[in-house]
Amino acid sequence: MLKPMPASFDYRPPLEPHLTIIYEDADLVVLDKPSGLLSVPGNHPHLQDSLKTRVQQRFPEAEMVHRLDMDTSGILVMARNKPALARTGMQFEKRTTEKQYIARVWGNFLNDSGLVDLPLATDWENKPRQRVDYERGRASQTEWLVLEREAAATRVALKPLTGRTHQLRVHMMEIGHVILGDVFYAEGEPLAAAPRLQLHAERLSFLHPTTGEVLDFHIPAPF
C-alpha cells in the first residue's frame, strides 16, 4: 500500500540558478525548470516561491502554458500575451506538441521498447497520487524506449501520448520499473538509489503561436 501523503512538507526550492531562460521573444518564454521547484505557487505562504513567480518578477504578464511536477526538471513554456497563451495552449490540449522525457528506472527491461496503455485517476485517499482505475480512469498511453541498461537500473526515453498527472511515474511503477528517487511511488532501494526524482523533460517541439515556425528545444538530462 502506498504511503499516505504528509499534510505538509519541508519545501526548500533550489536558489541557484534562480532562473534559466533558454528562449524568449515577444510571445514566449521557454525555461529550464530545476527539480524541487514548484511550477506554480501553492496555497500556503511557504509555498509561494515557484517558477511562475520567479518569471513574473521579470515578465509580469507571463502565464503558464503547461506545468511540470515539482520534482521533475526540464523544459517548460510560458506565454507573454493572451493570443500566444491560447494558441500554444491549444497545441498541448490537442496533443500536437512533441514531448520526450528521460528517466532512470529500477530494474532491467526484457524488451527494448513498448507501450503502456493504462487508464489513470486520482487516488483520492492519497492525493496528489494517481492510480490505475479501469472504471473511472482516463485513457493514458506512454511509449518507452531503452537507452542504456545499468547494473540495477535502466535509462529510458519516455514519450507521453496523453498528458495525465503523474502519468509517467505511475505507468513505470505499474510495469515494475518505478522511477528512481520517486518520493510518491518508490520505496526502499529504488527510493534511496537517487538524490532526486530521475525524470527530466528533455525535448519539446511545437509551432510558434505567431509565426507558425517549428520550435524544437532540447536540454540534456542532468543525471
Active site residues: 69
- Placement of cell 482516463 in the chain: 138
In this structure, the number of other CB atoms found within 10 A of the CB of residue 79 comes to 22
The answer to whether residues 215 and 88 touch, using CB atoms and an 8 Å cutoff, is no
Distance CA 99, CA 30 (A): 14
For the chain, the first-to-last Cα distance in angstroms comes to: 29
Beta bridge partners of 201: 74, 101
DSSP 31-55: EEEPTT--SS--SSGGG---HHHHH
**Cα–chain center distance at 207:** 20
**Cα–chain center distance at 130:** 14
